[in-house]
Chains A and B, each alone.
Chain A
Amino acid sequence: MILSSYFSRFLIVGAALSAGVCYSQQLLTVPEQQKLTVKRGETAVYHLKAQLKEGYHANSNTPNEAYLIPLKLTWEPGLLEVIEIKYPPGKAEKYEFSEKPLSVVSGDIDIATKFKPAANANLGPGYLTGKLRYQACNDKMCFPPKSVEVKLPVLLQ
């Protein structure tokens, strides 16, 4: 009886999958990060380079529709303090589903973060953790917002 119940669930899940509804590929990839060296009393700019799969776009940091979820990089407090984050400018692209062009990014994405050492940070190596949140679509469908964790090796001198 238990096996029969599991078997029927197996058939149901399998049937739904066979209908082609599962799209779990990672659309945005962030390569391993190079170490960032920052000297006390100075600032440093770190470029986070990400790549969006061909044929897909993500909303820029300043989407032109209120309902769209922006590209957003956040850093957890740690060795460094964020001074400013500069996002790539959005490209105006028109899609079948939108009445007017949307502000999007695609392909290679470069986000620059300007850091300064945190006030009480100890000198030496460490890591800074960030999250890059994006919401991707192609011209026919959209995918739920996702966050990619970024682990940045830091050397504070």
Chain B
Amino acid sequence: MKKLMLVLSLCAFGTGCNSELERVKAASVKAPEKRNPAPDFTLKDANGKSLKLSDYKGKVVLLNFWATWCGPCRLEIPWFMDFEQQFKDRGFAVIGVAMDDEGWEVVKPYIEKMKVNYRVVVGDEMTAARYGGIDAMPSTFIIDRDGKIASVHVGLVSKSSYQHDIEQLLQ
């Protein structure tokens, strides 16, 4: 039944996989009525504490899927640290979802070395599937205060593109 639903989803919304491989999506913020709910998940952070996405309702969230082997992802992480620092008092949070197969073994040393100042969890296939099967990284979802996806960036985009979206949603 699950497979059937996935196939139906692909058919009904079939804009995702094949023809868009070369495309870097740099969407601007969608109108509120066009936003879809961000799929909820619960994953453990580096300290073993549960992080539930829906607990962040009321905040603007930058949800970043990344991996330690991904060069463009590593470039963005210091930007996200700046955003966390700059906007956290205005109801903003960054959540990193690391998709490394080796999990904390490789993720923890990296985030400690980088002194990442936002919460990072290790993702799993189920979480990735809920967000369309995250294959290309970085994939970043900016979620509004109502828990809805306001913009999606797949691939490296400029720091100012993220900042523009965040500031618009924080207003």
* Interface, chain A (partner B; CB < 8 A): 6, 9-25, 55, 65, 67-69, 95-98, 102, 135, 137-145
Q: Report the separation of the CA atoms of residues A15 and B131 in the bound assembly, to the nearest whole angstrom.
A: 8
Residues of the B chain whose Cβ atoms lie less than 8 Å from the Cβ of A67: 68-69, 74, 110
Residues of the B chain whose Cβ atoms lie less than 8 Å from the Cβ of A69: 69
Q: Are B68 and A141 in contact (CB under 8 A)?
A: no
Residues of the A chain whose Cβ atoms lie less than 8 Å from the Cβ of B25: 19-20
Q: Are B72 and A141 in contact (CB under 8 A)?
A: yes
Please report the number of residue pairs spanning A and B whose Cβ atoms sit closer than 8 angstroms: 142
Cβ 8 A contact of A17, one of B15, B68, B149: B15
Q: Are B152 and A142 in contact (CB under 8 A)?
A: no
Determine, out of B3-11, B53-61, B163-171, the stretch whose residues face the partner at the interface.
B3-11
Residues of the A chain whose Cβ atoms lie less than 8 Å from the Cβ of B31: none
- Flag B126-156 by CB within 8 Å of A: 1 or 0 each: 0001111111111101000000010010111
Residue in A closest to B73 when the chains form the complex, CB atoms: A142
Q: Which 4 A-B residue pairings sit nearest by Cβ, starting from the closest?
A: A16-B132, A14-B13, A15-B36, A140-B155
Q: Are B39 and A16 in contact (CB under 8 A)?
A: yes
Residue in B closest to A141 when the chains form the complex, CB atoms: B155
- Flag B109-129 by CB within 8 Å of A: 1 or 0 each: 010000000000000000001
